[in-house]
Amino acid sequence: MKLNMKHLITATLLTVACQSQASVITVAQDDANNYGTQWSGNGGTGFDAWDYITDSANGSAGSFLANQSSNNDLNNIASNPSGNGWGTYANGDGFNQFEAYRGFGGNSLTTAGEILNLSLEHGEVTQGGAVGFVLRNQNIHNVIGDYNQQSRFEFGFLGGGLNYSIFDGQGVIDTGIGYTDGGLNVSFTLLSADLYQFDIYSALDNSLIQTRNGSLNGSGSIDSISLYNRDAELSNAYFNNLSILHTVVPTSVPEPSTYLLMLSALFSLAVRSRRKA
């Protein structure tokens, strides 16, 4: 029997590749389906419990479990089948603010390829108001305004502006994506300790609007998220579908020395077979 050495090595490398192939798994997930009548506590899996800070000034601010039946401005990010979303409001006299904080527990973003997903949706935002979220090192949440403490990345819409903005290691970036009340699904991917990829999708049909690469602000692992409604005034702001994905490499992958032994054995087998032939 005549063996083809190239085919043997190719087959071996394919086997090794299959054995060592990494997989992406969801390590933390939460959405509005996990809450009964209020948005509070620790729904879903893999996260720390929610914490809230509110400053009502001379108006009102807070959170609620929104439903499409009573909130006709909650459109494309509502959970199925409940029709719920995480609702926030901040309106009335003075500068009213709401901030929601959540730590990632043991699922911080530390390694290239790890991903965080979130959905957000809002109506018009008054001049000087803002709606968005911040990815942060640590989880500082002592007083109102801590939402961007230890910020590594921020995305939001500023009232009076035309487009959504990113705040990162390069400063303030105008994405060129105009205001929409149809909602956005966003995906943040850690590329290295200080680099990221940010994908923005329409919540209507999940079509990709923009992909942007950039450098992170500050330093350290990404350990928490803050969601904010800073005096949006003119309408509610909604969030939903928070998840974290990690890349997992199988622990049964042979060491490099094992690969060499396998190739050496195949080479010897090929030589012997060719001599016999």
- The range of the structural domain enclosing residue 8 comes to 1-21+252-277
Residue 25 CB-density burial (10 A; 0-12 exposed, 13-18 middle, 19+ buried): exposed
Shared-domain flag, residues 225 and 274:
no
Shared-domain flag, residues 7 and 125:
no
The mean per-residue pLDDT over the stretch 82-98 comes to 97
CB neighbour list of residue 72: distance below 8 Å, 6 or more residues apart: none
Please report the sign of the dihedral spanned by the C-alpha atoms of residue 78, residue 116, residue 224, residue 146: negative
Shared-domain flag, residues 153 and 258:
no
Shared-domain flag, residues 68 and 204:
yes
Query: At residue 271, does pLDDT exceed 50?
Result: no
In tens, the pLDDT along 96-126 reads 999 999 999 999 999 999 999 999 999 999 9
| pLDDT band, residue 255 (cuts 50/70/90) | low
The mean per-residue pLDDT over the stretch 137-142 comes to 98
Q: Please state, in angstroms and rounded to a whole number, the distance separating the CA atoms of residues 260 and 270.
A: 15
Shared-domain flag, residues 259 and 179:
no
Q: Please state, in angstroms and rounded to a whole number, the distance separating the CA atoms of residues 188 and 201.
A: 12
Residue 98 CB-density burial (10 A; 0-12 exposed, 13-18 middle, 19+ buried): buried
Shared-domain flag, residues 78 and 180:
yes
Mean confidence (pLDDT) of the chain: 89
The mean per-residue pLDDT over the stretch 240-250 comes to 91
Query: Which residues partner with 65 through β-bridges?
Result: 86
Tokens linked to 44: 């879903």
Shared-domain flag, residues 96 and 75:
yes
CATH number at residue 232: 2.60.120.200
- Which pairing describes strands 151-158 and 130-136: parallel, antiparallel, or unpaired? antiparallel
Query: What was the pLDDT predicted at 3?
Result: 41
Q: Which helix (H) or strand (E) holds 260?
A: helix 256-276
Maximum alpha-carbon separation in the chain = 94
Burial 31-43 (b: 16+ CB within 10 A, else e): bbbbbeeebeeeb
Question: Is the omega angle on the peptide bond into residue 81 within 30 degrees of 0, that is, cis?
Answer: yes
125 contacts 248 by C-beta, under 8 angstroms: no
Q: How many independent structural domains does the chain possess?
A: 2
In tens, the pLDDT along 37-78 reads 999 999 999 999 999 999 999 999 999 999 999 999 999 999
Instruction: Please state which of the ranges 6-10, 41-45, 175-179, 227-231 shows the lowest mean pLDDT.
Output: 6-10
Shared-domain flag, residues 269 and 211:
no
Query: What was the pLDDT predicted at 249?
Result: 73
Query: What was the pLDDT predicted at 43?
Result: 98
Shared-domain flag, residues 134 and 59:
yes
Shared-domain flag, residues 169 and 64:
yes
In tens, the pLDDT along 143-178 reads 999 999 999 999 999 999 999 999 999 999 999 999
Query: What was the pLDDT predicted at 245?
Result: 98
Q: What are phi and psi of 26, to 5 degrees?
A: -80, 120
Shared-domain flag, residues 83 and 177:
yes
Q: What totals of helices (H) and strands (E) does the chain contain, helices first?
A: 2, 15
- Looking at per-residue pLDDT, the higher value among 23 and 9 belongs to 23
Query: What was the pLDDT predicted at 22?
Result: 73
Query: What was the pLDDT predicted at 252?
Result: 57
Shared-domain flag, residues 207 and 264:
no
Query: At residue 4, does pLDDT exceed 70?
Result: no
Query: At residue 274, does pLDDT exceed 80?
Result: no
The mean per-residue pLDDT over the stretch 206-222 comes to 98
